[in-house]
Structures are given as C-alpha cells and as structure tokens.
A and B are shown apart, each in its own frame.
Chain A
Amino acid sequence: MELDALALKAQQSFYEDGLADIFMGGILLLVAVLILLISHFTFFLVFAIVIFNPLIYKALIDKAKQRWVYPRAGYVQPKPLHTPTRRDNLLGVALILTLLFAPILILFVSYSYPGLIIWVTWVAPVSLGLLFSIGPFIVARKYHIYRYYLFAILPPLLGLIIPWLNLSFPSIYVAYFTTLAIQLSIAGLIALLSGTVFFLRFIQRYPIELTDGDSTNALL
C-alpha cells in the first residue's frame, strides 16, 4: 500500500484539473494588456488586481470547480499553502510599488540617466519577474508539481532574454512597460495553454458518473 503516493496525490489533486494554470495565465495576460495601455486608470486596475488577486482567484476558481470539477472528481478543500500575515501583505504591496515606480524615483532623486537605463534594462524585468515566481515556486516545491517550476522560472528568465533582443522603443518608459508586458504575456500564454491541455485531459479522464441521487446519502 503506497501511502506516501496516496498522500501526495491528494495534495496535488487541487492542481490536477489545470484551472489554477488557466486562472494564472489569464491574470498575467490581463495585467500585460493593462500595462501596455499605459493610463492612470489601467495602472489603478493593475494594483487592484495584484492586491485583490487572492479574492478574485478564490471566487473564480470556486465557481469553475463547482461547475466542472466537483461533479467529476469530488470536492476537496486543500490545506492553505501559506497564510499571509498583514505584514506579508504590506511588504508585498510595497515591493511591487517600489519596483514599478523605481525608474521614476531614480530619475527624480538622482537625475542619473545611465543608472536609470541600467535599472530599466537589466534589473527591473528580472526583479519583477521574480515577484511573479514566488507563488508557482511554492506550489512546485511543496506539491512536486513540476510544470510549476517552469511557471516560476519563465518570468525572470524572459526578463533576462528580452533585453538581449535589443528591441527599439521610442522612450525608456515605453521600453520599461513594454518589456514587462511581453514578459507577462509570454508567461501567461504558456500557463494558459498548459492549463487548457490539463483541463481537457481532466474532463476526458473523469466523465460525470450518473448515480441514483446523491452518492453521499448512504452516509446519513
């Protein structure tokens, strides 16, 4: 009796249907589009998405699982990955704000244009990419779901690759936001594709079984 395999499979089951990948891909693509549009309103939306991401995630995933997953594979409430404290949340928001507005801060504080270029070209894409790696990395490490290592590596890796391509942009700010948008949209697209494949496989593997009423009635 492989109890360890049974335990691991139970832990992994929440990610088996690919819906979490689809959600992650969708959010990354949405953020990328909003960043590309560059306006006060879209920036406000990006912050709102980043801050309320766990709530949106829970609501949408619950709804989708209720519709497609629970009737096929049963309901499961996984143990929380990590319960962030208020300090963690504040630290996260401060970090994101600092990274997004660092170019403006550097220019206003030091008037160092070369420093700004180095930041925008090499530091910002990788560090912003790393921010998007934290969640997938925790999932990959804790539950041994190897595709999440790819989701964790992609954003910072793309942050290294895109500057090598030497794309030309009309201004440094456009370069900054476009690089970020390209990074997020490629990572998002890959997560979305992977999620779709896993979801379709899941649907095929677990067709809805017709039973005589609620299968759990026997218990009560």
Chain B
Amino acid sequence: MMEEEREKAVVVVGLIENATNSTAAEVDPRLLKAIKYVVRNSDSELRLAAQTLMNLMKRDHSQVRYLALLIIDELFMRSKLFRTLLVENLDQLLTLSVGFRRNLPLPAPPAVASVLRLKAIEFLEKWNASYGMYYRQLRLGFDYLKNTLRFQFPNLQANGVRIQQERREREMRTKEILLNKFETLKENFPSIKDELQSTLDEIGECLEIVTATNENVPMDLLDDEEMEEFRSSELRQIRLDSLKEAEKVQETGDNKVVFDVLRELYKLLVMKHLVSVQEWISVLVRVEVADNRFRDSALKEFIDIRNHLRSVKKKCEEAGCSLPDSKNHEEEDIWEEGTIESFENWNSATLDKQSDDSNIASTSTEVKKKASKNSNKKEDSNEKMDCEGSGTESNPQRSKFLAEAPVMKWGSFLDNWDKKRDVLANQRGLELENHWGRVDYDAVIPAAKIAELNVQATVYEEDPVEIQPCRARLSKGGLCQRRDLRVCPFHGPIIPRDDEGKPINQTSLTEEITPDFGSNLVEQLAKQAVKNIRDRDIEEVKKREHDKKALKRAKLAKVREHNDAVLRELAMASTSRSSAVGEDIETTNGERSSARNKKQTLASMLKKKVTAKDRLAQRLLNTGARDATTRQLTLGEDAKYREAFPNQW
C-alpha cells in the first residue's frame, strides 16, 4: 500500500516537473490534463502536488515559476483542498510570483518575470473575486497588494460590470426618451394628423388648379394644328410625349403663383412631414409599452399616411416640382462652379456631332483650367468625374467617352491638343496677336515641328509597392513586423502567413496567382505545360527524398521502439508513468528538428542576449584595442609637440 502510494506520488511529481520544464508560454495541455486527472483522484497526490508546486515556485527561474503558477491556478480554481493548502502560504506564493519584497525580486529572465508578475496579479484578483469570501488570507493578500503597495490590478470583473452597467443605463435612457416621445405622440396625434391633412389638402388643391390650367392650354394647341398629320401612331406617340413634356414645364405667368405654392408645399411635405412620419414610425416600432392598442393603431395609421404622402409626392413630381433640383443646388454650393461649367461645356461638346477645332480647343482650355486649379488633387477630380457621370446617367455616350478618355497630367502639350497647324514663330517673347509689333507671317514653325516639340513626356513613376511585413511568429509572442522585400534576415524568405504566423501553403497561392498571369491563352498553356513538367520533377525528387526519409524514420522508430521497450521495462508498472515517459520522448523527438536551429532551453533563456552593442564593446574595449588607441593618441600628441617646439629635444 505504502509502496503504491509512493509510486503514485512519483507520478504526480514527475508530471509537474515535466510540465514546468519547458520554454513554451503555456503548459502542455496534455500534461496539464494528466496532472488534473491524477490529482483529482487522490488527496495525498493533491497535497504532494501543492508541495511540489510551492517548491517549484522557489526555483530561481522565472519560466519555471510561471508555468508552476499556471498549474496552481488550474488546480486552485478546481479543488477546495488545494485552496486550503495554498492559502496557508499565500504570502510566500505572492512573494515568489509578484516579487513585491525588495529583498526577493523575481529571477531572470526579465521578460518572463514581468509576464509572471502580471499573471500573478490577475490570478490573485480572480481568486479573490471567486473565493475571497471563504479565505481571509486571499482577502488580506489582495488588500495588501492593492491598497498598501498600490499594485495596478486589471480589474477585469469590475470593468465588465461597469461596461454592462453603462450599457444598461444607456438603454434605459433611450427607452425613457422613446417613452416620452410616445407620450407626446399620444397627446399630439390628432394635431399632427390635422397638420398633415391640411398640407395634403392644400397640395391637392394646387394640383387641381395646375392640371386644370394645363388642360386648357394643350386643347387650344390641338385645335389649331392640323389633325391629319398625327394620324400615324408613331407620330401620335411622339406628340403625346412632347405634350407631356410640355405639361411638365408648363409654367406661365398666370399659374406661377400656384406653382410657387405647390413647390413650397412639396418641399414642406418632403423635408418635414415625410421625415417626421418616418421618425414616428420608428419610435412606434421601437417603443415598449404595456398597452399596445394605441401603438398598433397609430402605427397602422402612420403607415397609411406615409403611403399616401408618397403617392402625393409622386403626383407633385409629375406635376413638375422636384426636390432634387434644390438638392442639386445645394451640391453646387459645395462644388466649384468653374468645374461644373466646364463639364457642361464638355457635355455639349461631346454631344455635338459637328465638333470643330475651336470647340475642342475651348474644352481643352477648360480642362486645362480645371487641371491647373486642382492639379494636386487628381483623385479628387476623378471622383468628381465619377459623380458627374453617375449624376447624368441619361447620357450613356458621354460616360462611354469618359471611360475611354485618358487621364493626362497637365502639361504645355495640352495647349496644342489635337491641333495640326503651324505656329507663328515669336521672336520677342510677347503675345502674338496683340498690337505691340509687327507680325512676321513667314516665320512659322511647322506643325510637325510643334508636334515634335510637344511630345508628351511622362516621368516614370514606380508603382508604390507595399512591402509586406515578415509576420513570422516571434518567440516572445507577436509577429515579426520587419519589412523586407524578399528575405527577412531572421525568418527567411517572406511568404504569406496567417494570423498566427504560420505559413500558408505556397502551392495554393501560386495556383491562385497563375490565372492572373497572362490573358494570352497560348502563353498560359505553355506555362502550364512547363509547370506540369517541373512539378513532376519536383514530385519525383520529393518522392525519392521521402522514401529516404521514411527509411530513416523507420530505422529511428525501430531504435526508439527498442529504447521505449527497455525504458518501459525499467520504469514502474504504473501506466500513467510509462505513458508519460513515452510522451516525453515523443515531444523531445518532435522538438529535435526545431531544437537544431534554435535550441531553446531553460538555461538558454537565462543567457543574456548578445546585442550589437556587446559585440562592439568586445571589439573596442579589449586591452589590445585600448592600448593601440592610447598609443595612437600619444603618438599624435608627440608629433604635435615636436611640431610646436622643433628646436627642443
């Protein structure tokens, strides 16, 4: 019985020691699970685990302490016995994990030590929040660190509660506001409806008047014209259309007043009523009241009203008042007037079939003007163009042109854009067509020459390439932020990596890329063929390597198996122990490849990293170098002295 107990004890101690003997930032989950499993089943194990963990906390290595602390936390949150065992020595645990005593600072490595401290404080807070009520020691420790030593606790729980509270308050406030609105609506519902109704009525009247006047006018026109010409349906259609057109803009001196009023009302309708109705609807939808009857009825009514308003609005628009008009005006205020003009000009110019030289010249000058105005805001103007284009979509031709038109930088060549004529040579550097002097019509620079002079030159600009960060995983956490073009000096060639820093499979990426490569089918096919061949080659090589590796692995596995068997024989009969042994070997095997190039051990963590400064210091501060320097200096001084006093020996 005693023997068995002791064996088991060895198991838990071994497990914990294995788990803490690692450079990882977390405890190996499998080992942790094993520890928990073992400890759960027996109290003596738990006692031993507590003792072992406390001993490990005394180890002079922050990494060991950190991992031990993580295990402690796991057990602390689970076992009552462990808690009672641990709080007995809580001050010691805190001393070793937080390092608040000046004579007992946390051991090296400092990076891990700071993490350890943060974690310990966080854990203490958590423990205190969940079990502080049952353990005075926890409360004491927390209180001491917080109120006496003024440690900054993460305050996770309190923060969460506060945020929730704030959210709840905000919700309450909005609810209250909604309720208030609802109440006012309840009071004012009839008056609101009246107001709406009156506006609607007025609009209706206005519309009636307008339509009435409109009807009168076209009738006269019809009578006057000869009827026969409109017989054919096509023509009639055209005529009707034109009539409609006519109806729309029919605004004479007589009905101008009516139109004005109508416009006003329309504006009122769109800007105020429609918006407010929409608002009321949203209020009604969102509000929560005990009595739903009024809400539902009001909602229904509002929706009806809204639909009605929309129909009226449509009618108004048909009648010829439009709010977009005003909208456009507003927009114009924002935009520069000159540019709009220029576009309008251009518009007309492009539309005009008989485009002559002068016309184009005018547009180009306009463009030039514009360009000079905001030459440094190229993108801005582009945007504007887009907006304009979308604004006047009725003009597909223009947009087509716009799409085709090259975007040019401003230059002197724009002066002679598309011109093929000779230019008078100007000897005096003055304007040509003025009265300041005689014009020599013979001195002409031929068009070809001009064209030659005006060869459009562009400066090569490299496409701004965003250099991707390396994003390889760093040992201390986080990703490498170094930006190198091809190869990171620390992590090798730069390859696409996921958020964790693991490389994404390269082949899939190339596959993604290849279709983009060429639009030319033949080229693509050829490439594909080459690639296939290469792939096959690579695969063969790989396969050969693989075979070799497999052979090697098999041999290794055999050796390992043998070793395992021997070890197992040697090891005690307890299953968890033997499994732990196997695990250990596996993990070491797995790590061997990585260890070859890194060799991260607990001892190596303690080693001070050699920095450039150290290397320089090693070079410069060794005795030989120092002596040489002093020698040089004295030599220099000697020379100076000899120069200054050449006659003294």
Q: Decide whether A and B are members of one complex.
A: no
B interface, CB within 8 angstroms of A: none
